[in-house]
Amino acid sequence: MNHFSTQDWALFDKQGYLRIGKVADAATITSLCARIDDIMLGRAGIDYRRMVMQLDSSDGIYESAGKQSHGFKGATLGYRKIEQLESDPEFHAYMSLPIFEEAARHFYGNIAISAFRAMFMNKPANKGTFLPLHQDHWRALDRDPLLTIYTALDPATEENGCMELIPGTHHTVLNPSHPNGFLTPQMAAGFDNDPRRFHLTLEAGEVVLMHNWTIHGSGMNRTSRPRRAFSVCLMDAMTMSLRYDRLAARSILFEARQ
């Protein structure tokens, strides 16, 4: 395991994110794109009752996106988000790559590591939902997941609603009382003209490691092609869900090594 240097981690610590380039070949990314389209169109042969699926909004407003719940919501490329992709063999194989295990071990050490969520994020062509600034922090967990591995499946640009990041904001949770780490509108407005704020443009297949607390959000898609991404948030497998009083993970992605 030697994909990352001390300098890489120093840069991650400073910025709250690290670009690591393309990890898989173009054929793998093309195949993941075809796979997620098959999942959206209901022809993937998976147990859809296990997938959390949410339709995109019709007007770009976050609050009017569809309900996030288990099960298929119709054959359409108009999904905003699909979770539980760790149960799909193709996505599972990609997120299990040794480079991702090495990154996870940097944060968690030699313990069992699970996916808190393995999620498709989509800005459908000429649509998409505005995602307000937030930190990936969940009040209902007894400890915070620290790392998200974000892979662009399509090129991500300002026009098609790429993520915006605010580097250096990963040291504190700004709004701990919000269940999902969203900033209040007043807090978000405070970052409107922040000189650190930038659009994270990516090539298809490019991967970024993100500290979960790095403030981020994304816009709508003003192009005629989708902007698809795969985002995997990793956690200590012993993380408890305080809401359900059970382990938050259903399975282990990386076992502790002997």
Ligand X SMILES: O=C(O)CCC(=O)C(=O)O
Q: Which is nearer to ligand X, 35 or 231 (CB)?
A: 231
The answer to whether the CB of 153 falls within 8 A of the CB of 207 is: no
To the nearest whole angstrom, how small is the minimum distance from the Cβ of residue 134 to ligand X? Answer: 7
C-alpha separations of 18 from 197, 210, 241 in Å: 15, 7, 28
Per CB under 6 A, residues contacting ligand X are 121, 131, 136, 148, 150, 163, 216, 218, 229, 231
The answer to whether the CB of 237 falls within 8 A of the CB of 95 is: no
Q: Which is nearer to ligand X, 49 or 127 (CB)?
A: 127
Q: Which is nearer to ligand X, 46 or 219 (CB)?
A: 219
Strand 147-152 and strand 206-211: the pairing is antiparallel
To the nearest whole angstrom, how small is the minimum distance from the Cβ of residue 2 to ligand X? Answer: 27
Q: Which is nearer to ligand X, 1 or 164 (CB)?
A: 164
Long-range CB pairs of 239-243, under 8 A, 24+ apart, other chains included = 239/114, 239/116, 239/141, 239/142, 239/143, 239/145, 240/141, 240/142, 240/143, 241/140, 241/141, 241/142, 242/140, 242/141, 242/142, 243/140
To the nearest whole angstrom, how small is the minimum distance from the Cβ of residue 257 to ligand X? Answer: 27
117 sits in the region (left: phi over 0; alpha: psi -120 to 50; else beta) called beta
Task: State the Cα–Cα distance between residues 126 and 11, nearest whole angstrom.
Answer: 35
Task: State the Cα–Cα distance between residues 71 and 90, nearest whole angstrom.
Answer: 19
Going by the DSSP 8-state scheme, the letter that residue 15 receives in this structure is H
Is the C-alpha dihedral spanning 137, 187, 149, 14 positive or negative?
negative
Q: Which is nearer to ligand X, 211 or 216 (CB)?
A: 216
To the nearest whole angstrom, how small is the minimum distance from the Cβ of residue 144 to ligand X? Answer: 13
Q: Which is nearer to ligand X, 127 or 257 (CB)?
A: 127
To the nearest whole angstrom, how small is the minimum distance from the Cβ of residue 31 to ligand X? Answer: 20
To the nearest whole angstrom, how small is the minimum distance from the Cβ of residue 231 to ligand X? Answer: 3
Cβ atoms within 10 Å of 94's Cβ, excluding its own: 23
To the nearest whole angstrom, how small is the minimum distance from the Cβ of residue 49 to ligand X? Answer: 24
Q: Which is nearer to ligand X, 121 or 146 (CB)?
A: 121
